[in-house]
Every structure is written in C-alpha cells, then in structure tokens.
Copies of this chain bind each other. A is one copy, B any other.
Amino acid sequence: MTMAKRDTYTPESLLAVAVEVFIERGYDGTSMEHLSRAAGISKSSIYHHVRSKEELLRLAISRALDGLFAILREPGACRGRAIDRLEHVTRRTADVLMAELPYVTLLLRVRGNTDTERWAMERRREFDHQVRQLLERAAADGDLRDDVDLGLATRLLFGMINSIVEWYRPHGRGATDREQVADAVVRMAFSGLRTT
C-alpha cells in the first residue's frame, strides 16, 4: 500500500514512469496496478490521462519511432552519395537511441500479440528496410565492399547500434559522451578497426 500523491503528472512525465516499468517487468507482465504503484497515484488518476495500458505503450513506441523516422528526412539522409547518407543515418540512429534510450529500448524489446506491438514491429521493419535500400544504393555506386551480403551487413549494422542499449547510461560517473559513441560506431562499421 502506497500513499497516493497528488497527481501532478503531465502526459510526458507519466509516460516516462510507465516506460521504466514496462522495461523492468515486460509489457505483458505489467498491470495498471503496477503502474499506479510506480507513479504513486491511483489507477483512476492514470485513466484520467490515458485510456489503457496499451495507449501508454503506443505513446512510448511512437516517441521512439518518430525520432528514428525523422532521421530519414534530415538533409544528410536525403542529399549526396548513398554511402554518406548511410553514414549519416547510422550516426544519427545511434544518437537518437541514446537520446531516447528508454523509448528505443522498449521498441527493441517489443514482441507481442496486441495490435500496438504488431504495429511497432512492422514500423521497425520499415525503418530497417529503408536503411537496407541505402546500402543497396551505396553498393550500386561501388562504395560498399562487395564481399558482404547486404542483408547480413544491414543486420550486423543494426546489431552493433542496437547493442548500445545494453550498456549505455546517460548519467553518472564515467558516462560516455553520445558523440563519442556515435563516432565509434561509424568508424568501426565503415572503416573498420584495423590500420594495417
């Protein structure tokens, strides 16, 4: 039993609490009761902000997806050689992942049976597909090595970027700078670690 506090939540601050609980317990394992306890307000106060647990998930996932899809409309993603656009998208995807860490973490973990989860997975595949098309254009330009299958390259590139959620923490001692991490991803993926 937790003392209910006065509901001073905005939709954004309530969402931030909900996302932490979803990540910790899994979306399926989270009840409105868990959300109420974590937020310190009653369930009916939560229903004052959102209609359902699934709406909270949709809002959280939208925030991640909006951040990611906005990258594809940036000038650096639309102009110039495909290889440079691909590098830009790689750098910015890593950057958005770190800037919107809990939201992107949730997006990456969603596997499920609700409409919202299916929609999230579908949109994530669409993003991957658009990046894959950039790899195809860069390969057609002769700017991409031809001894790595493009499907594999796309998977490994996202594998490297997405693995950042496993260890990156924005605050605290020894926190690594976002720019430094994004630079490292781009250097390793496009130029490789070897100097010799």
Residues on A lying within 8 angstroms of B by beta carbon are 83, 142-149, 152-153, 155-160, 162-164, 166-167, 176, 180-181, 183-185, 187-196
Contact of A181 among B152, B162, B189 (CB under 8 A): B152
Q: Is the CB of A152 within 8 A of B166?
A: no
Bound-state Cα–Cα, A4 to B9, Å: 54
Partner of A176, one of B152, B159, B184: B152
Closest-CB distance, A173 to chain B (whole angstroms): 14
Task: Name the prevailing secondary structure of the A interface residues.
Answer: helix
Q: Is the CB of B152 within 8 A of A193?
A: no
Which residue of the partner chain B has the closest CB to A86?
Answer: B193
A31 CB → nearest B CB, Å: 16
Q: Which residues of B contact A196 (CB under 8 A)?
A: 83, 142-143
Given contacts A148-B188, A156-B184, A190-B192, 16 further A-B contacts (CB under 8 A): A83-B196, A143-B194, A144-B193, A144-B194, A144-B195, A145-B191, A145-B195, A152-B180, A157-B188, A159-B162, A159-B164, A159-B166, A189-B192, A189-B193, A190-B194, A191-B194
Residues from chain B with a CB closer than 8 A to the CB of A176 are: 149, 152
Chain B residues within 8 Å of A155, by CB = 163, 167
- Complex contact B149–A180 (CB within 8 A): yes
Known pairs A159-B159, A159-B163, A163-B159; A148 contacts B190 (CB<8 A): no
